[in-house]
Amino acid sequence: MAKILRCNDLMPGCDFVARGNSEEEIMAQAAEHAKTVHNMTEIPEGVVAMVRGAIREEDQARAQSTSS
């Protein structure tokens, strides 16, 4: 099942969206985005945990955004 991460859920105002079939795919995209856009040369474990917690199944995320 497809997964999605919206950076806006963690960094309000950022429109980056990562999509993939696994958490590992999403985390790789998020790490690259954090480095290139948010200038994070190192990503603290606390941030990694927050990112993992913000990853959703795409179907659930879509339903959540239409009900808000």
pTM, two decimals, is 0.82
Q: What is the pLDDT of residue 64?
A: 63
| The pLDDT value given to residue 68 | 57
Over the Cα atoms of the chain, what is R_g? Answer: 12
pLDDT band at 9 (very low <50, low <70, confident <90, very high): very high
Helix (H) or strand (E) holding 54: helix 45-54
pLDDT at residue 48 in the model: 94
CA distance 68 to 44: 31
**Domain-by-domain residue ranges, the chain?**
3-67
pLDDT in tens, 15-50: 999 999 999 999 999 999 999 999 999 999 999 999
